[in-house]
Protein backbone atom coordinates (compact mmCIF):
# COMPACT_ATOMS: atom_id res chain seq x y z
CA UNK A 1 0.00 0.00 0.00
CA UNK A 2 1.40 3.40 -0.94
CA UNK A 3 2.11 5.74 1.97
CA UNK A 4 -0.13 8.68 2.63
CA UNK A 5 0.96 12.04 1.26
CA UNK A 6 2.56 14.49 3.67
CA UNK A 7 -0.58 16.61 3.93
CA UNK A 8 -2.52 13.63 5.29
CA UNK A 9 -0.02 12.66 7.96
CA UNK A 10 -1.44 13.23 11.42
CA UNK A 11 0.51 15.29 13.92
CA UNK A 12 1.01 12.16 16.05
CA UNK A 13 2.47 10.28 13.06
CA UNK A 14 4.85 13.12 12.25
CA UNK A 15 6.23 13.27 15.78
CA UNK A 16 6.43 9.48 15.99
CA UNK A 17 8.60 9.55 12.87
CA UNK A 18 10.66 12.38 14.40
CA UNK A 19 11.33 10.40 17.59
CA UNK A 20 12.17 7.29 15.56
CA UNK A 21 14.84 8.96 13.44
CA UNK A 22 16.13 10.99 16.38
CA UNK A 23 16.75 7.89 18.51
CA UNK A 24 19.03 6.33 15.94
CA UNK A 25 20.71 9.52 14.80
CA UNK A 26 21.49 10.75 18.31
CA UNK A 27 22.94 7.32 19.12
CA UNK A 28 25.34 7.70 16.21
CA UNK A 29 26.32 11.30 17.06
CA UNK A 30 26.92 10.55 20.75
CA UNK A 31 28.95 7.45 19.94
CA UNK A 32 31.26 9.48 17.71
CA UNK A 33 32.14 11.89 20.51
CA UNK A 34 32.30 9.48 23.47
CA UNK A 35 34.91 7.35 21.70
CA UNK A 36 37.44 10.19 21.67
CA UNK A 37 37.87 10.39 25.45
CA UNK A 38 38.01 6.60 25.87
CA UNK A 39 41.03 6.12 23.59
CA UNK A 40 43.61 6.05 26.43
CA UNK A 41 41.61 3.26 28.14
CA UNK A 42 41.45 1.29 24.87
CA UNK A 43 45.16 1.82 24.33
CA UNK A 44 46.06 0.22 27.65
CA UNK A 45 43.56 -2.61 27.33
CA UNK A 46 44.62 -3.57 23.80
CA UNK A 47 48.37 -2.85 24.26
CA UNK A 48 48.39 -0.40 21.35
CA UNK A 49 50.64 2.56 20.58
CA UNK A 50 49.27 6.08 20.16
CA UNK A 51 49.41 5.81 16.35
CA UNK A 52 47.77 2.39 16.37
CA UNK A 53 44.87 3.35 18.63
CA UNK A 54 44.22 6.42 16.48
CA UNK A 55 42.95 4.01 13.82
CA UNK A 56 39.85 3.51 15.98
CA UNK A 57 38.87 7.07 15.04
CA UNK A 58 40.40 7.24 11.56
CA UNK A 59 38.68 4.08 10.33
CA UNK A 60 35.26 5.33 11.46
CA UNK A 61 35.70 8.77 9.90
CA UNK A 62 36.99 7.32 6.63
CA UNK A 63 33.98 4.98 6.39
CA UNK A 64 31.68 7.94 7.11
CA UNK A 65 33.35 10.01 4.41
CA UNK A 66 32.87 7.25 1.83
CA UNK A 67 29.23 6.34 2.53
CA UNK A 68 27.64 9.78 3.07
CA UNK A 69 27.95 10.98 -0.57
CA UNK A 70 26.13 7.84 -1.72
CA UNK A 71 23.22 8.21 0.74
CA UNK A 72 20.67 9.54 -1.74
CA UNK A 73 21.67 7.02 -4.39
CA UNK A 74 21.51 4.06 -1.98
CA UNK A 75 18.13 5.26 -0.68
CA UNK A 76 16.80 5.01 -4.21
CA UNK A 77 18.50 1.69 -4.88
CA UNK A 78 17.33 -0.08 -1.71
CA UNK A 79 14.34 2.03 -0.70
CA UNK A 80 14.78 4.70 1.98
CA UNK A 81 13.03 2.84 4.79
CA UNK A 82 14.91 -0.39 4.09
CA UNK A 83 18.23 1.45 3.81
CA UNK A 84 17.63 3.29 7.11
CA UNK A 85 16.80 0.00 8.84
CA UNK A 86 19.89 -1.67 7.36
CA UNK A 87 22.05 1.20 8.63
CA UNK A 88 20.47 0.97 12.08
CA UNK A 89 20.98 -2.78 12.26
CA UNK A 90 24.56 -2.55 10.98
CA UNK A 91 25.47 0.20 13.45
CA UNK A 92 23.91 -1.62 16.41
CA UNK A 93 25.45 -5.01 15.58
CA UNK A 94 28.90 -3.53 14.95
CA UNK A 95 28.61 -1.62 18.26
CA UNK A 96 28.15 -4.92 20.09
CA UNK A 97 31.06 -6.50 18.20
CA UNK A 98 33.22 -3.45 18.97
CA UNK A 99 32.46 -3.91 22.65
CA UNK A 100 33.62 -7.55 22.68
CA UNK A 101 36.62 -6.87 20.41
CA UNK A 102 39.51 -9.16 21.47
CA UNK A 103 42.14 -7.24 19.48
CA UNK A 104 42.84 -3.85 17.94
CA UNK A 105 42.52 -5.23 14.40
CA UNK A 106 39.04 -6.61 15.12
CA UNK A 107 37.97 -3.33 16.76
CA UNK A 108 39.14 -1.26 13.77
CA UNK A 109 37.25 -3.57 11.37
CA UNK A 110 34.06 -3.18 13.40
CA UNK A 111 34.53 0.58 13.54
CA UNK A 112 34.58 0.60 9.73
CA UNK A 113 31.19 -1.14 9.74
CA UNK A 114 29.99 1.32 12.37
CA UNK A 115 31.02 4.20 10.13
CA UNK A 116 29.22 2.68 7.14
CA UNK A 117 26.06 2.21 9.19
CA UNK A 118 26.21 5.55 10.98
CA UNK A 119 27.17 7.87 8.13
CA UNK A 120 23.80 7.97 6.28
CA UNK A 121 21.70 8.48 9.41
CA UNK A 122 21.93 12.28 9.59
CA UNK A 123 21.24 13.03 5.90
CA UNK A 124 18.39 10.50 5.76
CA UNK A 125 16.75 11.76 8.94
CA UNK A 126 17.21 15.36 7.80
CA UNK A 127 15.47 14.61 4.49
CA UNK A 128 12.64 12.79 6.28
CA UNK A 129 12.06 15.66 8.69
CA UNK A 130 12.09 18.17 5.87
CA UNK A 131 9.50 16.21 3.90
CA UNK A 132 6.94 15.41 6.58
CA UNK A 133 6.63 18.94 8.02
CA UNK A 134 5.40 22.01 6.09
CA UNK A 135 7.62 25.09 6.20
CA UNK A 136 5.66 26.77 8.99
CA UNK A 137 6.36 23.74 11.25
CA UNK A 138 9.84 22.86 10.08
CA UNK A 139 11.56 25.36 12.33
CA UNK A 140 10.30 23.79 15.54
CA UNK A 141 10.69 20.26 14.16
CA UNK A 142 14.29 20.89 13.14
CA UNK A 143 14.93 22.58 16.49
CA UNK A 144 13.74 19.48 18.36
CA UNK A 145 15.79 17.27 16.06
CA UNK A 146 18.76 19.64 16.34
CA UNK A 147 18.72 19.52 20.15
CA UNK A 148 19.54 15.84 19.93
CA UNK A 149 22.10 16.24 17.15
CA UNK A 150 23.94 19.16 18.75
CA UNK A 151 23.90 17.70 22.24
CA UNK A 152 26.01 14.73 21.15
CA UNK A 153 29.33 16.56 20.64
CA UNK A 154 28.71 18.66 23.78
CA UNK A 155 27.66 16.04 26.34
CA UNK A 156 29.31 13.04 24.66
CA UNK A 157 32.82 13.67 26.06
CA UNK A 158 31.44 14.01 29.59
CA UNK A 159 29.44 10.79 29.26
CA UNK A 160 32.33 8.95 27.66
CA UNK A 161 34.78 10.06 30.34
CA UNK A 162 32.47 8.95 33.14
CA UNK A 163 31.76 5.54 31.56
CA UNK A 164 35.41 4.86 30.79
CA UNK A 165 36.56 5.91 34.28
CA UNK A 166 33.86 4.09 36.26
CA UNK A 167 32.96 1.05 34.12
CA UNK A 168 34.95 0.09 31.05
CA UNK A 169 35.59 1.52 27.60
CA UNK A 170 33.58 -1.43 26.21
CA UNK A 171 30.39 0.05 27.69
CA UNK A 172 30.56 3.09 25.38
CA UNK A 173 29.59 0.58 22.67
CA UNK A 174 27.22 -1.57 24.72
CA UNK A 175 24.98 1.41 25.58
CA UNK A 176 24.07 1.59 21.88
CA UNK A 177 22.32 -1.78 21.96
CA UNK A 178 19.01 -0.93 23.69
CA UNK A 179 18.80 2.40 21.82
CA UNK A 180 19.50 0.71 18.50
CA UNK A 181 16.91 -2.01 19.06
CA UNK A 182 14.27 0.51 20.13
CA UNK A 183 15.08 2.79 17.19
CA UNK A 184 14.92 -0.14 14.75
CA UNK A 185 11.47 -1.17 16.00
CA UNK A 186 10.16 2.41 15.95
CA UNK A 187 11.48 3.06 12.45
CA UNK A 188 9.98 -0.22 11.23
CA UNK A 189 6.59 0.85 12.54
CA UNK A 190 6.46 4.48 11.42
CA UNK A 191 8.76 5.15 8.44
CA UNK A 192 7.56 4.82 4.87
CA UNK A 193 8.98 5.24 1.37
CA UNK A 194 7.70 8.40 -0.36
CA UNK A 195 6.39 8.10 -3.88
CA UNK A 196 9.00 10.48 -5.36
CA UNK A 197 12.00 8.23 -4.66
CA UNK A 198 13.07 6.47 -7.84
CA UNK A 199 15.31 3.43 -8.16
CA UNK A 200 18.42 4.24 -10.27
CA UNK A 201 18.36 2.56 -13.68
CA UNK A 202 21.90 1.24 -13.30
CA UNK A 203 24.89 1.27 -10.98
CA UNK A 204 27.64 3.74 -11.83
CA UNK A 205 30.62 1.49 -11.09
CA UNK A 206 33.29 3.98 -12.15
CA UNK A 207 31.77 6.79 -10.11
CA UNK A 208 31.45 4.50 -7.10
CA UNK A 209 35.12 3.46 -7.32
CA UNK A 210 36.33 7.05 -7.69
CA UNK A 211 34.17 8.13 -4.75
CA UNK A 212 35.49 5.42 -2.42
CA UNK A 213 39.13 6.04 -3.30
CA UNK A 214 38.88 9.83 -3.28
CA UNK A 215 37.01 10.35 -0.02
CA UNK A 216 38.98 7.63 1.80
CA UNK A 217 42.31 9.16 0.81
CA UNK A 218 41.15 12.69 1.64
CA UNK A 219 39.89 11.71 5.10
CA UNK A 220 43.12 9.85 5.87
CA UNK A 221 45.22 12.88 4.88
CA UNK A 222 43.12 15.25 7.00
CA UNK A 223 43.06 12.93 10.01
CA UNK A 224 46.70 11.78 9.99
CA UNK A 225 48.43 14.74 8.34
CA UNK A 226 49.67 16.38 11.56
CA UNK A 227 51.09 13.10 12.91
CA UNK A 228 52.87 12.42 9.61
CA UNK A 229 54.20 16.02 9.32
CA UNK A 230 51.92 16.68 6.36
CA UNK A 231 53.74 17.03 3.04
CA UNK A 232 57.13 16.27 4.52
CA UNK A 233 55.95 12.68 4.32
CA UNK A 234 56.07 11.00 0.91
CA UNK A 235 53.12 8.84 1.90
CA UNK A 236 51.00 11.92 2.66
CA UNK A 237 51.96 13.50 -0.66
CA UNK A 238 51.02 10.32 -2.53
CA UNK A 239 47.65 10.08 -0.79
CA UNK A 240 46.94 13.78 -1.35
CA UNK A 241 47.60 13.40 -5.08
CA UNK A 242 45.38 10.30 -5.20
CA UNK A 243 42.60 12.15 -3.34
CA UNK A 244 42.72 15.18 -5.65
CA UNK A 245 42.79 13.12 -8.83
CA UNK A 246 40.07 10.68 -7.69
CA UNK A 247 37.74 13.43 -6.43
CA UNK A 248 38.26 15.49 -9.59
CA UNK A 249 37.46 12.40 -11.63
CA UNK A 250 34.41 11.72 -9.44
CA UNK A 251 33.02 15.22 -9.97
CA UNK A 252 33.66 15.04 -13.72
CA UNK A 253 31.97 11.65 -13.89
CA UNK A 254 28.93 12.70 -11.85
CA UNK A 255 28.21 15.83 -13.89
CA UNK A 256 28.34 13.90 -17.18
CA UNK A 257 26.59 10.61 -16.37
CA UNK A 258 22.82 10.18 -16.63
CA UNK A 259 22.66 8.22 -13.35
CA UNK A 260 24.95 9.99 -10.84
CA UNK A 261 25.65 8.70 -7.35
CA UNK A 262 25.78 12.31 -6.08
CA UNK A 263 23.84 14.73 -8.26
CA UNK A 264 25.82 17.97 -8.34
CA UNK A 265 23.07 19.79 -10.21
CA UNK A 266 21.55 20.65 -6.82
CA UNK A 267 24.34 23.22 -6.51
CA UNK A 268 22.57 25.16 -9.24
CA UNK A 269 20.26 26.47 -6.50
CA UNK A 270 21.86 29.65 -5.17
CA UNK A 271 20.52 29.30 -1.64
CA UNK A 272 21.67 25.71 -1.41
CA UNK A 273 25.16 26.49 -2.72
CA UNK A 274 25.66 29.41 -0.34
CA UNK A 275 24.10 27.41 2.52
CA UNK A 276 26.44 24.49 1.87
CA UNK A 277 29.41 26.86 1.86
CA UNK A 278 28.26 28.45 5.13
CA UNK A 279 27.63 25.12 6.86
CA UNK A 280 31.12 24.00 5.85
CA UNK A 281 32.64 27.20 7.25
CA UNK A 282 30.51 26.97 10.41
CA UNK A 283 31.56 23.35 10.95
CA UNK A 284 35.16 24.45 10.45
CA UNK A 285 34.87 26.97 13.29
CA UNK A 286 32.73 24.76 15.55
CA UNK A 287 34.87 21.62 15.45
CA UNK A 288 38.12 23.57 15.65
CA UNK A 289 36.94 25.55 18.69
CA UNK A 290 35.60 22.48 20.52
CA UNK A 291 38.91 20.68 19.97
CA UNK A 292 40.86 23.68 21.24
CA UNK A 293 38.74 23.96 24.40
CA UNK A 294 39.17 20.24 25.12
CA UNK A 295 42.94 20.41 24.57
CA UNK A 296 43.38 23.60 26.59
CA UNK A 297 41.47 22.35 29.62
CA UNK A 298 43.18 18.94 29.67
CA UNK A 299 46.72 19.63 28.46
CA UNK A 300 47.31 23.14 29.81
CA UNK A 301 45.01 23.41 32.83
CA UNK A 302 45.28 19.72 33.79
CA UNK A 303 41.53 18.93 33.87
CA UNK A 304 40.48 15.30 33.60
CA UNK A 305 38.03 14.14 30.89
CA UNK A 306 35.01 14.56 33.17
CA UNK A 307 35.79 18.16 34.16
CA UNK A 308 36.79 19.07 30.62
CA UNK A 309 33.38 17.81 29.54
CA UNK A 310 31.73 19.99 32.20
CA UNK A 311 33.35 23.03 30.56
CA UNK A 312 31.74 22.11 27.22
CA UNK A 313 28.36 21.16 28.68
CA UNK A 314 26.98 24.70 29.39
CA UNK A 315 27.26 25.32 25.67
CA UNK A 316 24.54 22.70 25.31
CA UNK A 317 22.24 24.70 27.58
CA UNK A 318 22.70 27.82 25.46
CA UNK A 319 22.22 25.72 22.33
CA UNK A 320 18.94 24.30 23.61
CA UNK A 321 17.58 27.76 24.42
CA UNK A 322 18.46 29.23 21.04
CA UNK A 323 17.19 26.21 19.09
CA UNK A 324 13.74 26.58 20.65
CA UNK A 325 13.66 30.35 20.06
CA UNK A 326 14.90 30.05 16.47
CA UNK A 327 12.44 27.23 15.80
CA UNK A 328 9.50 29.42 16.80
CA UNK A 329 10.71 32.47 14.85
CA UNK A 330 11.99 30.85 11.67
CA UNK A 331 8.76 31.05 9.66
CA UNK A 332 7.91 34.61 10.79
CA UNK A 333 11.13 36.60 10.38
CA UNK A 334 13.86 36.91 7.78
CA UNK A 335 16.02 33.84 8.32
CA UNK A 336 19.12 35.81 7.34
CA UNK A 337 18.75 38.01 10.44
CA UNK A 338 18.58 34.96 12.69
CA UNK A 339 21.63 33.52 10.97
CA UNK A 340 23.46 36.83 11.41
CA UNK A 341 22.68 36.75 15.15
CA UNK A 342 24.04 33.21 15.32
CA UNK A 343 27.28 34.10 13.54
CA UNK A 344 27.82 37.19 15.71
CA UNK A 345 27.24 35.20 18.93
CA UNK A 346 29.73 32.56 17.75
CA UNK A 347 32.25 35.29 17.03
CA UNK A 348 31.70 36.98 20.41
CA UNK A 349 32.02 33.70 22.31
CA UNK A 350 35.29 32.86 20.58
CA UNK A 351 36.61 36.40 21.08
CA UNK A 352 35.98 36.01 24.82
CA UNK A 353 38.18 32.91 24.72
CA UNK A 354 41.05 34.83 23.13
CA UNK A 355 41.95 36.39 26.51
CA UNK A 356 42.82 33.07 28.15
CA UNK A 357 45.44 32.91 30.89
CA UNK A 358 46.94 30.16 33.02
CA UNK A 359 44.94 31.40 36.02
CA UNK A 360 41.57 31.33 34.22
CA UNK A 361 38.78 29.96 36.40
CA UNK A 362 35.91 27.62 35.51
CA UNK A 363 33.30 30.35 34.97
CA UNK A 364 35.59 32.30 32.66
CA UNK A 365 35.59 29.23 30.44
CA UNK A 366 31.90 28.46 30.82
CA UNK A 367 30.45 31.82 29.79
CA UNK A 368 32.13 31.94 26.37
CA UNK A 369 30.93 28.39 25.75
CA UNK A 370 27.39 29.38 26.74
CA UNK A 371 27.46 32.35 24.34
CA UNK A 372 28.77 30.16 21.52
CA UNK A 373 26.07 27.58 22.32
CA UNK A 374 23.44 30.31 21.88
CA UNK A 375 25.02 31.13 18.55
CA UNK A 376 24.89 27.54 17.32
CA UNK A 377 21.11 27.30 17.63
CA UNK A 378 20.62 30.56 15.75
CA UNK A 379 23.00 29.25 13.09
CA UNK A 380 21.75 25.68 12.63
CA UNK A 381 17.98 26.23 12.14
CA UNK A 382 18.00 29.23 9.74
CA UNK A 383 20.95 27.88 7.75
CA UNK A 384 19.23 24.55 7.15
CA UNK A 385 16.00 26.34 6.25
CA UNK A 386 17.67 28.71 3.78
CA UNK A 387 19.66 25.91 2.15
CA UNK A 388 16.94 23.27 1.76
CA UNK A 389 13.62 25.11 1.54
CA UNK A 390 13.87 25.74 -2.21
CA UNK A 391 15.02 22.20 -3.07
CA UNK A 392 12.33 20.01 -4.64
CA UNK A 393 11.25 16.98 -2.62
CA UNK A 394 12.47 14.46 -5.15
CA UNK A 395 15.98 15.90 -4.74
CA UNK A 396 16.02 16.28 -0.96
CA UNK A 397 17.81 12.99 -0.28
CA UNK A 398 20.60 13.96 -2.63
CA UNK A 399 20.68 17.53 -1.28
CA UNK A 400 20.97 16.49 2.38
CA UNK A 401 23.73 14.04 1.46
CA UNK A 402 25.67 16.80 -0.34
CA UNK A 403 24.95 19.20 2.56
CA UNK A 404 26.45 16.79 5.07
CA UNK A 405 29.41 15.94 2.83
CA UNK A 406 30.54 19.57 2.79
CA UNK A 407 29.77 19.91 6.52
CA UNK A 408 31.99 16.94 7.33
CA UNK A 409 34.75 18.18 5.05
CA UNK A 410 34.65 21.58 6.74
CA UNK A 411 34.80 20.00 10.20
CA UNK A 412 37.69 17.71 9.25
CA UNK A 413 39.66 20.58 7.73
CA UNK A 414 38.95 22.69 10.83
CA UNK A 415 40.35 20.02 13.17
CA UNK A 416 43.37 19.39 10.94
CA UNK A 417 44.28 23.07 10.59
CA UNK A 418 43.59 23.82 14.26
CA UNK A 419 46.05 21.19 15.47
CA UNK A 420 48.67 22.16 12.89
CA UNK A 421 48.42 25.88 13.52
CA UNK A 422 48.51 25.31 17.28
CA UNK A 423 51.86 23.54 16.97
CA UNK A 424 53.27 26.18 14.61
CA UNK A 425 52.17 29.14 16.74
CA UNK A 426 53.43 27.48 19.92
CA UNK A 427 56.85 27.08 18.32
CA UNK A 428 56.80 30.70 17.14
CA UNK A 429 55.89 32.08 20.57
CA UNK A 430 58.36 29.78 22.30
CA UNK A 431 61.21 31.02 20.12
CA UNK A 432 60.17 34.63 20.77
CA UNK A 433 59.85 34.19 24.54
CA UNK A 434 63.10 32.24 24.92
CA UNK A 435 64.89 34.94 22.91
CA UNK A 436 63.75 37.53 25.45
CA UNK A 437 64.71 35.58 28.57
CA UNK A 438 67.77 37.26 30.11
CA UNK A 439 69.34 35.14 32.84
CA UNK A 440 71.00 38.28 34.22
CA UNK A 441 67.79 40.29 34.63
CA UNK A 442 66.55 40.77 38.22
CA UNK A 443 63.18 39.17 37.45
CA UNK A 444 64.69 36.01 35.93
CA UNK A 445 67.30 35.75 38.69
CA UNK A 446 64.56 36.05 41.32
CA UNK A 447 62.43 33.38 39.59
CA UNK A 448 65.39 30.95 39.43
CA UNK A 449 66.25 31.70 43.06
CA UNK A 450 62.68 31.00 44.19
CA UNK A 451 62.58 27.66 42.36
CA UNK A 452 66.03 26.65 43.63
CA UNK A 453 64.99 27.43 47.21
CA UNK A 454 61.81 25.38 46.71
CA UNK A 455 63.74 22.29 45.58
CA UNK A 456 66.38 22.73 48.29
CA UNK A 457 63.67 22.82 50.96
CA UNK A 458 62.38 19.51 49.55
CA UNK A 459 65.71 17.73 49.95
CA UNK A 460 67.63 18.45 46.72
CA UNK A 461 71.32 19.42 46.83
CA UNK A 462 72.39 22.84 45.55
CA UNK A 463 73.46 21.65 42.07
CA UNK A 464 70.32 19.55 41.49
CA UNK A 465 68.10 22.36 42.77
CA UNK A 466 69.73 24.79 40.32
CA UNK A 467 69.23 22.43 37.37
CA UNK A 468 65.59 21.80 38.31
CA UNK A 469 65.01 25.55 38.65
CA UNK A 470 66.28 26.08 35.09
CA UNK A 471 64.05 23.26 33.85
CA UNK A 472 61.01 24.82 35.55
CA UNK A 473 61.77 28.20 34.01
CA UNK A 474 61.86 26.56 30.58
CA UNK A 475 58.62 24.71 31.37
CA UNK A 476 56.93 27.98 32.31
CA UNK A 477 58.12 29.52 29.04
CA UNK A 478 56.77 26.61 26.95
CA UNK A 479 53.42 26.71 28.76
CA UNK A 480 53.08 30.47 28.24
CA UNK A 481 53.88 29.98 24.54
CA UNK A 482 51.04 27.45 24.34
CA UNK A 483 48.62 29.87 26.00
CA UNK A 484 49.51 32.56 23.47
CA UNK A 485 49.01 30.08 20.62
CA UNK A 486 45.53 29.14 21.88
CA UNK A 487 44.64 32.83 22.20
CA UNK A 488 45.78 33.42 18.61
CA UNK A 489 43.60 30.60 17.30
CA UNK A 490 40.49 31.71 19.18
CA UNK A 491 40.98 35.26 17.87
CA UNK A 492 41.34 34.03 14.28
CA UNK A 493 38.22 31.82 14.57
CA UNK A 494 36.31 34.75 16.04
CA UNK A 495 37.28 36.97 13.11
CA UNK A 496 36.35 34.13 10.77
CA UNK A 497 32.69 34.16 11.93
CA UNK A 498 32.42 37.94 11.56
CA UNK A 499 33.85 37.86 8.02
CA UNK A 500 31.33 35.19 6.95
CA UNK A 501 28.54 37.74 7.55
CA UNK A 502 29.27 39.35 4.17
CA UNK A 503 27.78 36.30 2.40
CA UNK A 504 24.30 36.64 3.93
CA UNK A 505 22.92 39.38 1.63
CA UNK A 506 23.52 37.04 -1.32
CA UNK A 507 20.98 34.53 0.02
CA UNK A 508 17.23 34.81 -0.61
CA UNK A 509 14.74 34.90 2.24
CA UNK A 510 12.36 31.92 2.33
CA UNK A 511 8.64 32.71 2.74
CA UNK A 512 5.76 30.36 3.32
CA UNK A 513 2.76 31.27 1.20
CA UNK A 514 -0.73 29.72 0.91
CA UNK A 515 -0.98 27.17 -1.89
CA UNK A 516 -3.86 25.58 -3.76
CA UNK A 517 -6.48 23.70 -1.73
CA UNK A 518 -5.25 25.14 1.54
CA UNK A 519 -1.76 23.79 1.01
CA UNK A 520 1.50 25.61 1.22
CA UNK A 521 4.15 26.71 -1.20
CA UNK A 522 7.63 28.13 -0.77
CA UNK A 523 8.50 31.32 -2.58
CA UNK A 524 10.36 30.48 -5.78
CA UNK A 525 8.91 26.97 -6.15
CA UNK A 526 5.68 25.67 -7.63
CA UNK A 527 3.25 24.40 -5.02
CA UNK A 528 3.58 20.85 -6.35
CA UNK A 529 6.89 20.35 -4.61
CA UNK A 530 5.48 21.25 -1.23
**Which CATH number fits the domain that encloses residue 342?**
1.20.1250.20
Q: How many domains does the chain have?
A: 3
Q: Mean pLDDT throughout 254-271?
A: 84
Range of the domain at 399: 270-501
Q: Considering only residues 173 and 195, tell me which one the structure prediction assigns the higher pLDDT.
A: 173
Look up the pTM and report it: 0.79
Cβ contacts of residue 347 below 8 Å, gap of 6+?
375, 494, 495, 496, 497, 498
Three-state SS at 119: coil
pLDDT exceeds 90 at position 459: no
Three-state SS at 260: coil
Measured between alpha carbons, how far is 367 from 373 in angstroms, rounded to an integer? 10
Q: Mean pLDDT throughout 142-164?
A: 71
**Would residue 510 count as lying in a domain?**
no
For residues 160 and 297, membership in a common domain is answered with no
For residues 377 and 452, membership in a common domain is answered with yes
Three-state SS at 221: helix
Q: Mean pLDDT throughout 365-377?
A: 89
The predicted structure's pLDDT at residue 471: 78
pLDDT exceeds 90 at position 96: yes
Residues 199-207: contacts with CB within 8 Å, 24+ apart? 199/76, 199/77, 200/73, 200/76, 200/77, 200/259, 201/258, 201/259, 202/259, 203/77, 204/253, 204/257, 204/259, 204/260, 204/261, 206/253, 207/250, 207/253, 207/254, 207/257, 207/260, 207/261
C-alpha atoms less than 13 angstroms from C-alpha of 205 in its C-beta half-sphere:
0
For residues 335 and 210, membership in a common domain is answered with no
Select from 183, 200, 217 the last residue of a domain: 200
pLDDT exceeds 50 at position 524: no
For residues 137 and 230, membership in a common domain is answered with no
Helix (H) / strand (E) element for 513: namely strand 512-514
What is the DSSP secondary structure assignment for residue 334, as one 8-state letter?
-
For residues 116 and 236, membership in a common domain is answered with no
The predicted structure's pLDDT at residue 258: 78
pLDDT exceeds 60 at position 355: yes
Measured between alpha carbons, how far is 194 from 327 in angstroms, rounded to an integer? 25
Measured between alpha carbons, how far is 293 from 365 in angstroms, rounded to an integer? 9
For residues 112 and 214, membership in a common domain is answered with no
Q: Considering only residues 47 and 117, tell me which one the structure prediction assigns the higher pLDDT.
A: 117
Per-residue pLDDT band for 492 (boundaries 50, 70, 90) equals: very high
Q: How far from the centroid of its chain's Cα atoms is residue 330's Cα? A: 23
The predicted structure's pLDDT at residue 514: 47
Q: Which range is least confidently modeled, 169-183, 403-417, 444-458?
A: 444-458
The predicted structure's pLDDT at residue 446: 73
Q: Which range is least confidently modeled, 127-131, 279-283, 460-464, 505-509?
A: 460-464
The predicted structure's pLDDT at residue 152: 66
pLDDT exceeds 60 at position 82: yes
Measured between alpha carbons, how far is 55 from 40 in angstroms, rounded to an integer? 13
pLDDT exceeds 60 at position 299: yes
For residues 117 and 107, membership in a common domain is answered with yes
Helix (H) / strand (E) element for 333: namely none
Q: Considering only residues 312 and 256, tell me which one the structure prediction assigns the higher pLDDT.
A: 256
pLDDT exceeds 60 at position 374: yes
Amino acid sequence: MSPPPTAELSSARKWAITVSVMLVTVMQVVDTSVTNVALPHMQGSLSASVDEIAWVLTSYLAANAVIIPATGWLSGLLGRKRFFLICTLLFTLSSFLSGIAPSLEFLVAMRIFQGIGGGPMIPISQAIMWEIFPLRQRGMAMAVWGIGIMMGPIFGPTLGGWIADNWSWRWIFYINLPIGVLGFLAASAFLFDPAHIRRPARIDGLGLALMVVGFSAMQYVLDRGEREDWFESGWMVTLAVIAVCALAGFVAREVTTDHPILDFSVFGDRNFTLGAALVSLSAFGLYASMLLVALYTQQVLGYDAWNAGLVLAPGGVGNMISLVIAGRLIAHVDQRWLLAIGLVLNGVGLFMMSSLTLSVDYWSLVWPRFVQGLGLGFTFVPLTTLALATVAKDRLGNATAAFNVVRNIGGSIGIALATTYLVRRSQHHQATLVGHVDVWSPETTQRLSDWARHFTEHGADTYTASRRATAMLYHDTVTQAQVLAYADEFWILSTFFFVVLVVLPLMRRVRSEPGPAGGERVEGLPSAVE
